[in-house]
Amino acid sequence: STRLILLEGENNDKFFTHPRNPKALAAYLFAHNHLFYMMELLTGLLLLMLSLCEAPAVPSLRLDVYVHATLELLALVMVAFELCMKLRWLGFHTFIRHKRTMVKTCVLLVQFVEAIVVLIRQTSHMRVTRALRPIFLVDCRYCGAVRRNLRQIFQSLPPFIDILLLLLFFMVIFAILGKSYFNTMENSLVSLFVLLTTANFPDVMMPAYSKNRWSCVFFIVYLSIELYFIMNLLLAVVFDTFNDVEKMKFKSLLLHKRSAIDHAFQLLVSRQRPMGVSLKQFDGLMRFYRPRMSARDRFLTYKALNTSGAPMLSLQDFYKFYEVTGLKWKARRNWLLIPYCGYFPLQFISRLHCVSVLPLSVYGVEVLLKISGLGPVAYFSSGWNLFDFSVTVFAFLGLIALAFDKEPFYFIVILRPLQLLRLFKIKQRYRNVLDTMFELFPRMASLGLTLIIFYYSFAIVGMEFFADVVYPNCCNTSTVADSYRLINNTQGNKTVLEEGYYYLNNFNNILSSFVTLFELTVVNNWYITMEGVTSMTSHWSRLYFMTFYIVTMVVMTIIVAFILDAFVFRMNYSRKNREPLENPEDENGIVFEVEVSRDDVLAALELYKQMCPGSSSLSSLQGVLQTMDKSGHSSLVYLGRRSRTKSDLSMKMYEEEIQEWYAEYSREALPEPDQSLERDPDSPMPDLSPFPEPQLNSQTGPHSIN
């Protein structure tokens, strides 16, 4: 149960979803491991990939109806199975109260019925509900970041919509003013909407401008207000909300973890000893919490927590639990510093002979030294090392290609200027920029994934409604007919192909749809695609394109706000703490130092032998002793490393506020009798533990923190 609480703290599971009987526990354990997560992910991906093969399919991937319908049914059965496991774990009551799971269930049912209908009729009907498929992917454990992004987007919506209304209000006013020029009100609104995206500027102005030069004032005033003022306001409001939401999210995660630690500590101390957590207890906990961890690492983690040197861990020590569990341990060796010493002169050599062989081989040696020094895992966990490594490898490949002078290596040869990227390491600002980039890459990737999920839904809707509506020489009734023209013009002897190409921007299959949607995202000339499709379907098609514009605007604004926030945060941070970022030792991430003496290790070894005699895991601890013997020292210093996350930065940035939050949190926790004891870990424990063991008393109701 202690382990469960800690896992829940790490996974940000609500405590009221705590499994309450052995069956539920079995289901919880079954549903919380990487195999199950992987299955969830693959099922979600399979369902999304199906749209490559369903009509309208990508030509080379087309499958028969019964094949893809069967595949879909299979995947849906998998999803149903996963949902059943969740139902077992949560129990019926909690299950139907969990909104996301309920939505997923409904979507599953609809998809099931539709898949069966397809299988029976042996033909695909119009299935717009396929746009809901991403929910299966979003719901899986590994997509937690995407879920957070979606939540953040929805939280930013109210202020966004407020400003959007302001924007639309001015648009309507200008549409009324410009009605006589644009003929109809609809035309006026659409033109001004497109003008807001600047896609039809200055063309939309030119006819009026050619008649009266002062007509440009209308357009200039409109753009100044809408594009340069209100659109920026939109960014400002989203940025502001984003900042606030980010901070609140950090706060709630932090407090959730702290409360998990509090509960786990209560359970650990109440059982055997009232004074604190002993190495034995801690080791037992870690063996279940992190089964892959070696005995040595468990021992070192305990040492890292135990800063006071007392025989047991106090609650204060235990609070650092989540900070130390992810560390990778390595004995400190003195020659490790060599690469760092040789590091700075190299920078200057490289400046002088960027592409010559000498510095390249020096770089190669540096990379090899570092890899052998740090070990491959530690080496590649640092963004800067990865950067060095790939630049060097590319440069070597380029050199080899140059030596053999072969054509297929063309792309690698031209990648050689990438060596110049090394120069960016020298300047502090570039270091900051690239550091920020490395740190935020996971988050950026999740934002990109979020965007792709929106793309997917829009692509499905687009394919259902607009597949095969545009083709060469279509849209002759629209104003953009030229862009869709394809003529073999025979002038004398020469045949000139006049191509408008825009017929290529279609929704004929999911890949084309994605490209078309990217073009719509970039916004330039998007109205040509819109008008082409509209002229071949109905006026209502514009709604699709405009909705897409607004949705991507929201997501893009969030992305801009995110980059802005991350970067400004980072700059402020590095302004506040000049040193840590300069320190090359620290720049790879968080480093904990633990010194272990021979006696400590022997004691731990004795303990482990008692606990589980004959276990093979002891060899790692014996290795420590052997190393000591070899080096002749009576103690060894171990360094625990992990890469720095945004959470670490936030911890430093909000240092003062965090203390306030903790104070607030313990004040709130005070009135509840079963938590009031937490602040005095040395006092004897009550018989009633706040989180009853599920195996013992399954009758106890769920315990809610919030």
Nearer residue to its own copies within complex by CB, 132 or 177: 177
Q: At its nearest, how many Å lie between its own copies and the CB of residue 199? A: 6
Q: What is the DSSP string of 635-699?
A: EEEEEEEE---HHHHHHHHTHHHHHHHHHHHHHHHTTSTTTTTTT-TTSPPPSS-SS--TTT-TT
How distant, in Å, are the alpha carbons of 53, 56, 119, 129, 406 from that of 122?
A: 15, 15, 5, 18, 52
Nearer residue to its own copies within complex by CB, 227 or 275: 227
Question: Helix (H, G, I), strand (E, B), or coil: what is residue 156?
Answer: helix
Q: At its nearest, how many Å lie between its own copies and the CB of residue 236? A: 4
Q: At its nearest, how many Å lie between its own copies and the CB of residue 194? A: 10
160 touches its own copies (CB under 8 A)? no
Nearer residue to its own copies within complex by CB, 434 or 625: 434
Binding piece for its own copies, criterion CB under 8 A, among 62-70, 95-103, 222-230, 540-548: 222-230
Neighbours of 560 (CB within 10 A): 14
210 touches its own copies (CB under 8 A)? yes
420 touches its own copies (CB under 8 A)? yes
**The binder of its own copies chosen from 274, 311, 417, 673 (CB under 8 A):** 417
Q: Give the angle 677-679-683 at the CA atoms, nearest 5°.
A: 55
Nearer residue to its own copies within complex by CB, 336 or 563: 563
198 touches its own copies (CB under 8 A)? yes
Binding piece for its own copies, criterion CB under 8 A, among 9-17, 341-349, 374-382, 495-503: 495-503
Interatomic CA distance for residues 247 and 245, integer angstroms: 5
Binding piece for its own copies, criterion CB under 8 A, among 219-227, 286-294, 581-589, 690-698: 219-227
471 touches its own copies (CB under 8 A)? no
**The binder of its own copies chosen from 142, 169, 340, 344 (CB under 8 A):** 169
Question: Within positions 561 to 590, which residues make up the interface with its own copies, using CB under 8 A?
Answer: 563-564, 567-568, 571-572
The contacts of residue 456 (CB under 8 Å, 6+ apart) are: 48, 51, 131, 133, 134, 510
For residues 584 and 340, the answer to whether their CB atoms sit within 8 Å is: yes
The contacts of residue 284 (CB under 8 Å, 6+ apart) are: 611
700 touches its own copies (CB under 8 A)? no
Question: Helix (H, G, I), strand (E, B), or coil: what is residue 200?
Answer: coil
Nearer residue to its own copies within complex by CB, 312 or 440: 440
How large is the angle between the packed helices 185-196 and 526-536, nearest 10 degrees? 150
Burial class (CB in 10 A: 0-12, 13-18, 19+), 499: middle
Burial class (CB in 10 A: 0-12, 13-18, 19+), 179: middle
Which contiguous run of DSSP H or E holds residue 390? helix 383-404
- Build a one-symbol-per-residue string for 500-539: x at contacts with its own copies by CB under 8 A, - elsewhere: -xx-xx-----xx--x--xx--xxxx--------------
Give me 481's structure tokens.
């007919």
Residue with tokens 């037992």: 284
**Residue ranges binding its own copies (CB under 8 A):** 159, 162-163, 166, 169, 172-173, 176-177, 198-203, 206-207, 209-210, 213, 216, 220, 223, 227-229, 232-233, 235-237, 239-240, 243, 411, 414-415, 417-418, 420-421, 424, 427, 429-430, 433, 499, 501-502, 504-505, 511-512, 515, 518-519, 522-525, 556, 559-560, 563-564, 567-568, 571-572
